[in-house]
Amino acid sequence: MTLHSAVKGKLLAVIGDEDTCVGFLLGGIGEINKNRHSNFMVVDKNTAVSDIEDCFKRFVKRDDIDIILINQNVAEMIRHSIDAHTQPIPAVLEIPSKDHPYDATKDSILRRAKGMFNPDDIH
């Protein structure tokens, strides 16, 4: 059983709209752990921003989650929390949804990269 635990690996979590969550859970990432905590959250138009933020912070604190997938439009709602997360683990990946195409100008890591190349530095 030790070998099994060693290769078991970590989870991917998902915070997104219904189709995103249904799709990725169909892909096999869904889990309910022994503490009855899930690794996914379905966000709809009635979901409070505070709930999304609390869920994101819970996923970040868990040591069994390595990657958090979050729809980019949902990430915009909690941008301050996402930008504040600078640790490499868990990795936070902003993914597009069917209703909101990918916008590179809003992606956290690309904004950080753009900020590094300040036009004032170009002599």
Partner 1 sequence: MESIMKSSALSVTENELDELVIRILRLMNEYINCKINIENRIRSGCLDLAKARYITGNRNISSLQLPGEDALGVEAQYRVSQSNKNGFMEYKSINPVELQETFIVENFKNVNLSSDKSTTRNTGNSSKDPIKWFGFLVPQSLRQAKVTFEKCLEVVIECANIQSELSHCLELYKNRKKDIEK
Question: Which H or E run contains 68?
Answer: strand 65-71
Give the number of C-alpha atoms closer than 13 A to the C-alpha of residue 46, restricted to the C-beta side: 0
Among 15, 24, 60, 74, binds partner 1 (CB under 8 A): 24
How many CA atoms, within 13 angstroms, populate the side-chain half-sphere of residue 89? 7
CB contact at 8 A, 94 and 107: yes
- Of these, 15, 40, 55, 60, which contacts partner 1 (CB under 8 A)? 40
- The minimum distance between CB 69 and partner 1, in angstroms, equals 7
Q: Is 54 in the site for partner 1 (CB under 8 A)?
A: no
Instruction: Decide: is 79 part of the binding site for partner 1 (CB under 8 A).
Output: no
CB atoms within 10 A of CB 25: 16
List residues near partner 1 by CB under 8 A.
1, 3-4, 7-12, 18-32, 36-40, 42, 66-67, 69, 88-89, 91, 93-98, 101-102, 104, 107, 109-110, 112-113, 116-117
